[in-house]
Amino acid sequence: MPCNCCGNKINSGRIFKRADSGQLFKSCPNCSRTHGTEHVFHPHPLEFGQTPARISAKNPDGDQSYCSDCRTLDKGQPSQNCHRGRVCSSL
């Protein structure tokens, strides 16, 4: 399903946007799926973290896909954090 704002896949965790303030934000696929119509972004890297285990050609910094709150959930459980993020159309 595409995001109603940018048209990219709603379950993509590789969407980055920068706010007018300069703060970098990254989409969380679980928060976005829970929202249902737009990507949900959280401050990057603060709300995500990075790990050497995730380093690849497409992810050279080793960014975690899910925000830190969604990583604590059982697989398939909806986000409890999506309301705290910023939707795509707000960035």
Any domain includes 70:
yes
Say what the pLDDT of residue 52 is. 94
User: What does pTM read for this prediction?
Assistant: 0.92
Distance CA 18, CA 32 (A): 17
The answer to the question of residue 45 being in a domain is yes
Please count the structural domains in the chain. 1
Average of per-residue pLDDT across 23-31: 97
Within a domain: residue 9?
Answer: no
Burial class (CB in 10 A: 0-12, 13-18, 19+), 50: middle
Mean pLDDT to the nearest integer, 6-30: 95
